[in-house]
Chain A
Amino acid sequence: MSQVIKWQEPWPGAVPSLEIDADGVGLIVVDIQGEAPPESAEDRFKLDQVLISNISRLLSWFRAHERPIIYLRVGSFLPDAEDQHAKRRLSWGRWNPDLAEYRRPVGSPDYAIRPEIEPLPGELIIDKNTSGAFNSSAIDHYLHQLGLRTLVVTGVQTYACVDATARDAADRGYNVILAADACSAGTTHAVAEAATLRTFARYLGAVKTTDEVLTDLATVSGQSVNSGAAAG
């Protein structure tokens, strides 16, 4: 089954609507780990109340409809982080000035995905040591084998790992919907976040709210709007 949904706003070369195949839809959750503390109370509220809540609603739909969910985790593959490029290795120091090099190897305490949206058995987890998943993992292989053509992308940080992953996914041919209110960046990065959403909507894919994504998902799958939430 496939249905046409609204895609992009008018812009040179924009695609106003796009046909989506219900069988090829998957959800990607980028880097919702127990990472650095948010920079303000406002950021904390956004992360805990808005972001986790919206991702949970999407998770419910994908689980209820037995569609693939893929979690990404960022960190280092080796304890000494020598597998990361040098600037990334050094940059983590901004979250802990006592450490010249902040390391978050696989298995370290804050490497785990946040418990509120913990993956269920059978849901794929892909580790990466770069911002973009396509730059350091076999994600393209998995997406292809899962038969996915359309990806709903959520997570943090909007302007960094989300942008890099969603851009490369779109560039490699996937239909990508960025769920803007299921993505987040700290308030100090509001300008960069706005730039990501604007550029993505014009040149790479669709930018929608979680409500709009759920409506689109109901449309393409021939379900009523509330069926996913009720089942979840």
Chain B
Amino acid sequence: MTRGKIPWQSAKEGGYPITQWEIEGDATALLLIDLQEANLDPKVGAGPSLWAEFPDIAGYYYDRLEESVLPTVLELQAFARLHHLPVIYTASGLALPDGRDVAPWSWRASRRRPGSGIPCLLPPGAPGRGLWADLNPRPDELLLEKQTLSPFNGTPLEQVLRNMGIENLIIGGLLTNAAVETTARDAGDRGFNAMVIEEACAALTAEEHEATVGSASWYVVKTKSEVVDQLGPLLAH
């Protein structure tokens, strides 16, 4: 018996009056978005040019990663593994070395433009393209490569979740208002119970991060402690 109600939205969030929601605890997966070395290490990927062109943003972002996102993500991963919940990682990158596979408009393609030093999406095999080493992904954990923000738009994630019997998603990663929010919106809109973990995400500014937290649409935002306390009693293992 792992079915039970957990707190869902608070009335002040105003969107809709669902204060509690019944879920199947064991039908939960942890989804970690784009936690790649290039997005975490200030010395590789976009780091050096971010520091050079947008030092205020770089200062905020790398502090937030170190102080909040990375430790929280490791705790969530340990929680999921302890309770035999699937862990699924996404990684963003170009599929082709010259980037023809991403949309022309895309900021992710900006590495092709003369004059911009921000390599937002890395080519195959580039330094930093791989997952953060501390995650130590296991052979039984899925990695989905994508060229989109949302894995619902560019990977077989939905089919995989349905096949695995997953109904609930705990979501963390980068960036809060870009890939994380787009993923959470799609997940919620498609009927999954999507829970974004506040401390496990970062945007490039605090303002953007707070805006996503404050205007959740079909997903909810919880703290790590809330999700652990609420889900724990509903887990069989």
Question: Beta-carbon contacts of A146-185 to B below 8 Å, as 1s and 0s?
Answer: 0000000000000110011001101111111000000000
Docked-complex contact A15 and B218, CB < 8 angstroms: no
Q: How many residues of B contact A (CB 8 A)?
A: 49
Interface centre among A7, A168, A198 (most CB of B within 10 A): A168
Question: Beta-carbon contacts of A17-52 to B below 8 Å, as 1s and 0s?
Answer: 011000000000000000000000000000000000
Interface of A is mostly: helix
Docked-complex contact B190 and A135, CB < 8 angstroms: yes
Docked-complex contact B186 and A135, CB < 8 angstroms: yes
Chain B residue numbers with a CB within 8 Å of A90 are 16, 18
Q: From B29-37, B64-72, B132-140, B206-214, give the one contacting chain A.
A: B206-214
Contact A87:B16 (CB < 8 A) given known A191-B211, A199-B208: yes
Docked-complex contact B148 and A15, CB < 8 angstroms: no
Q: Does A143 contact B (CB under 8 A)?
A: no
Q: Does B15 contact A (CB under 8 A)?
A: yes
Docked-complex contact B104 and A175, CB < 8 angstroms: yes
Q: How far is the CA of A202 from the CA of B204 in the complex (A)?
A: 11
The answer, among B14, B15, B181, B186, for a CB contact under 8 Å with A132, is: B186
The answer, among B21, B106, B150, for a CB contact under 8 Å with A168, is: B150
The answer, among A87, A91, A172, A196, for a CB contact under 8 Å with B153, is: A172
Chain B residue numbers with a CB within 8 Å of A94 are 16-17
Question: Beta-carbon contacts of B171-212 to A below 8 Å, as 1s and 0s?
Answer: 000010110011001101111000000000000100010011
A179 CB to closest chain B CB (Å) equals 16
Docked-complex contact A15 and B105, CB < 8 angstroms: yes
Q: Does A121 contact B (CB under 8 A)?
A: no
Docked-complex contact B154 and A192, CB < 8 angstroms: no
Closest to B214 in A: A191
Chain B residue numbers with a CB within 8 Å of A168 are 150, 153, 182, 186
A213 CB to closest chain B CB (Å) equals 16
Chain A residue numbers with a CB within 8 Å of B212 are 195, 199
Q: Does B215 contact A (CB under 8 A)?
A: yes
Residues of B participating in the A interface, judged by any CB pair closer than 8 Å: 14-18, 21, 46, 50, 53-54, 57, 102-110, 113, 116, 118, 120, 148-150, 152-154, 175, 177-178, 181-182, 185-186, 188-191, 204, 208, 211-212, 214-215, 217-218
Residues of A participating in the B interface, judged by any CB pair closer than 8 Å: 7-8, 12-15, 18-19, 85-88, 90-91, 93-94, 130-132, 134-136, 159-160, 163-164, 167-168, 170-176, 188-189, 191-192, 194-196, 198-199, 202-205
Known: A87-B21, A199-B211. 16 other contacts (CB 8 A): A12-B54, A12-B118, A91-B16, A91-B17, A131-B217, A132-B189, A135-B190, A167-B149, A175-B105, A192-B215, A195-B211, A199-B181, A199-B208, A202-B208, A203-B107, A203-B178
